[in-house]
């Protein structure tokens, strides 16, 4: 048994024991909600979501019980990668609105107790960024802001410096005719990599942090952290080639090589530590609640744990836990769920906070990956595990991927492939417009078109309809969020274990409070369970607290802890009865 979300100091005095609970910080049990701004709500009829649309729907986030929302990039951009190619790091793109719209969003969100987290892109800028234009012109101040190389001569022909392959296919190096050198881009050719071996770059990016924190942001989701550094050049300014990956045959594919020189370099972790120092500096300057960093890194577990910090440096409060996204499959059994969850908890440094993520704008929606009949199961799991949860917009109503034809595909990662390969690469399916109601374009816009097609199931899967159905995905989600505010879920201990290959159970307990057991039947078997055999301290009778539309029993009904009946794909929460 592990204490995960509360630190207790035990003081013995005259034979009595007093337990003093250290107050939790706001983010440690927060419910985060990711908004992809292009697709959340369009206020001006152009078919693309915007800041005013988000502001209009803040009451919906309050209805959900959300603590904070993080927004994919809203900064000035030519949109080669839909905002992840930033041309001006300290301004709002007109597509999304104005700085006044941002300030209005911050003010309205603060008024109802919701924090705004911004997406920060440290690895690269747009090639239309003033910094890059000046660097290409060899401006002394910016000459080394990016990674440049003259290339290598092979049989008298100038070629890229290395064999490195971009995540968007093809060489990581693009020739710049003006500077007469190649520049590095781990992503799109319009996203040149910044050179963090130049200390001026780090200082400039820290100033970007300060700029947005002073305007009310509560922190940052930091994008693509493992890519920020590549191996240092040798004494002659050259880089090594990466070794071949024999399992991939397409030489244009990112996975054609083993990326041992372009991701997860030793210096990468220190970047996060430096950004955390800026947050602490700004906390002292601005006061108020602690500002946070959420880091995006699909890295081995031992590396991910370093993002939390070490004995001398504080790191990210929330290094995103992508274990469930990366490894859970439709055919995974309860033992696999158990292993992935406890592996994170057991490796997490002492005193740190867990986080749970099942979806985002870069991955297939979890109902499409794991099945629509597991929507409540997954949401129930995410919202009752210890620590903080992250919901990708639409998961609360059960939105699924939308098939996008080759002709309608806009994601550059897919567009740079071909009609035979694009479906494997495209990130468009989980980015489609949010489904508000059963009206035209699902209530997303009053315009005549949308930037991506709306899901065909919007008449059945939408907020308006689900509000009126007692056990809809939306109402189960809201009930879970209310339960999440209980002291047991905020501060309690947790035990997570597979009861058999079909059933995962989570026990949450706190001295002086009823215990709760979350029981999730992942598969299609009818299960008859003895919870006393798995957990100690349960009462003989237990009460149903949360049930789904797969349950034949209503909340408030009683059962016996040694004889719990679970229907196929049923998810329930039981509470001890004294």
Largest CA distance in the chain: 87
For residue 23, what pLDDT band results from cuts at 50, 70 and 90?
confident
Sole residue written with tokens 């920020």: 228
Structure tokens at 394: 């639409």
The answer on 169 and 139 residing in a single domain is: yes
pLDDT at 1 over 60: no
Tell me, yes or no, if 230 is annotated catalytic: no
- d(CA 515, CA 509) in angstroms, rounded, equals 5
Q: How many CB atoms lie within 10 A of CB 272?
A: 25
216-261 pLDDT per residue, tens: 999 999 999 999 999 999 999 999 999 999 999 999 999 999 999 9
Query: Do the bridges between strand 219-222 and strand 115-120 make them parallel or antiparallel, or are there none, so unpaired?
Result: parallel
Asked if the structure places residue 546 within a domain, the reply is: yes
For residue 314, is it within any domain?
no
**Do 134 and 38 share a structural domain?**
no
Q: Are residues 441 and 508 in the same domain?
A: no
Residue 22 in any domain: the answer is: no
Same domain, 497 and 418: no
Specify the CATH number for the domain of residue 446: 3.20.20.80
User: Contact 431/39 with Cβ under 8 angstroms?
Assistant: yes
CA 64 to chain centre: 18
Same domain (yes/no): 468, 552? no
244 & 367 share domain: no
What whole-number percentage of the chain has pLDDT above 90?
96
User: Roughly what angle, to the nearest 10 degrees, separates helices 473-484 and 375-384?
Assistant: 10
Can you give the pLDDT at residue 214? 98
Q: Lowest-confidence range among 5-14, 36-45, 103-112, 370-379? A: 5-14
Helical H segments across 47-198, by residue range? 51-56, 58-64, 99-111, 130-136
* pLDDT given at position 578: 85
DSSP string, 197-252: TSHHHHHHHHHHHHHHHHTT--EEEETTGGGS--PPP-TTS--PPPPB-TT---TT
Regarding whether 181 and 114 lie in a shared domain, the answer is no
Which one of 223, 230, 396, 466 is the catalytic residue? Answer: 223
Task: Give 252-302 pLDDT, tens digit per residue.
Answer: 999 999 999 999 999 999 999 999 999 999 999 999 999 999 999 999 999
Extract the tokens encoding 217. 């942001």
270 is a domain residue: no
Within this chain, do residues 130 and 113 fall inside the same structural domain, yes or no? Answer: no
> What distance in Å separates the CA atoms of residue 86 and residue 210, rounded to the nearest whole number?
17
CATH code for the domain of 538: 2.60.40.1180
The reply to whether 395 and 539 lie within a common domain is: no
463 token code pair = 């907020």
Q: E strand or H helix at 341, and its extent?
A: helix 334-347
Over residues 72-76, mean pLDDT = 98
| Same domain, yes or no: 504 and 422 | no
Average pLDDT over residues 92-104: 98
Residues 108 and 186 reside in one and the same domain:
no
Known catalytic membership, residue 296: yes
Question: Which DSSP category does 291 fall into?
Answer: P
Domain assignment of residue 354, given as a range: 31-121+321-477
Q: Which of 253, 296, 396, 428 is catalytic?
A: 296
Separation CA 219–CA 533 (nearest Å): 44
pLDDT score at 22: 61
Task: State the pTM of this model.
Answer: 0.95
Average pLDDT, the chain: 95
Q: Does the residue 212 lie in any domain?
A: no
Q: How many domains does the chain have?
A: 3
């Amino acid at each position: 048994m592990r204490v995960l979300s509360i630190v207790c100091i035990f003081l013995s005095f005259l034979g009595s024991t007093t337990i003093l609970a250290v107050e939790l910080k706001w983010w440690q049990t927060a419910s985060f909600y990711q908004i992809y701004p292009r697709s959340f709500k369009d206020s001006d009829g152009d078919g693309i979501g915007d800041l005013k649309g988000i502001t209009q729907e803040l009451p919906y986030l309050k209805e959900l019980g959300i603590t904070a929302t993080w927004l994919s990039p809203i900064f000035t951009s030519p949109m080669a990668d839909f905002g992840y190619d930033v041309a001006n790091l300290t301004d709002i793109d007109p597509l999304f609105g104005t700085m006044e719209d941002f300030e209005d969003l911050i003010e309205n969100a603060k008024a109802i107790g919701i924090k705004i987290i911004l997406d920060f892109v440290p690895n690269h800028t747009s090639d239309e960024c003033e910094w890059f234009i000046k660097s290409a012109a060899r401006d002394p101040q910016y000459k080394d802001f990016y990674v440049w190389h003259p290339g290598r001569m092979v049989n008298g022909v100038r070629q890229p410096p290395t064999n490195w392959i971009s995540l968007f296919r093809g060489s990581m190096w693009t020739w710049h005719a003006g500077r007469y050198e190649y520049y590095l881009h781990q992503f799109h050719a319009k996203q040149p990599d910044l050179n963090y071996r130049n200390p001026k770059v780090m200082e400039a990016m820290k100033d970007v942090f300060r700029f947005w924190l002073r305007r009310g942001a509560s922190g940052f989701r930091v994008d693509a952290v493992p890519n920020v550094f590549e191996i240092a050049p040798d004494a002659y300014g050259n880089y090594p080639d990466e070794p071949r990956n024999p399992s991939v045959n397409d030489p244009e594919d990112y996975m054609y090589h083993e990326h041992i020189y372009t991701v997860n370099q030793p210096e990468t972790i220190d970047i996060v530590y430096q950004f955390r120092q800026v947050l602490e500096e700004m906390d002292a300057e601005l006061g108020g609640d602690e500002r946070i960093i959420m880091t995006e890194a699909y890295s081995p577990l031992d590396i991910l744990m370093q993002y939390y910090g070490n004995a001398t440096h504080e790191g990210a409060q929330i290094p995103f836990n992508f274990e469930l996204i990366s490894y859970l499959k439709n055919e995974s059994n309860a033992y696999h769920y158990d292993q992935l969850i406890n592996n994170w908890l057991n490796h997490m440094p002492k005193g740190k906070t867990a986080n749970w993520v099942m979806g985002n704008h870069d991955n297939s929606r979890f109902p499409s990956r794991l099945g629509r009949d597991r929507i409540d199961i997954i949401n129930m799991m995410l919202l009752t595990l210890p620590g903080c949860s992250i919901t990708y917009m639409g998961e609360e109503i059960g939105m699924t991927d939308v098939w996008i034809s080759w002709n309608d595909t806009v994601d550059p990662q897919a567009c740079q492939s071909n009609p035979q390969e694009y479906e494997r690469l495209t990130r468009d399916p989980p980015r489609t417009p949010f489904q508000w109601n059963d009206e035209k374009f699902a209530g997303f816009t009053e315009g005549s078109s949308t930037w991506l097609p709306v899901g065909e199931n919007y008449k059945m899967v939408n907020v308006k309809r689900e509000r009126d159905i007692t056990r809809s995905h939306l109402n189960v989600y809201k009930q879970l969020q209310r339960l999440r505010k209980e002291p047991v879920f905020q501060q309690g201990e947790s035990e997570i274990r597979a009861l058999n290959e079909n059933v995962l159970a989570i026990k949450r307990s706190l001295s002086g409070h009823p215990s709760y057991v979350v029981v999730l039947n992942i598969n299609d078997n009818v299960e008859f369970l003895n919870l006393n055999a798995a957990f100690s301290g349960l009462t003989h009778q237990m009460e149903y607290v949360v049930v789904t539309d797969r349950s034949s029993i209503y909340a408030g009904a009683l059962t016996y802890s040694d004889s719990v009946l679970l229907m196929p794909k049923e998810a329930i929460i039981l509470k001890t009865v004294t």
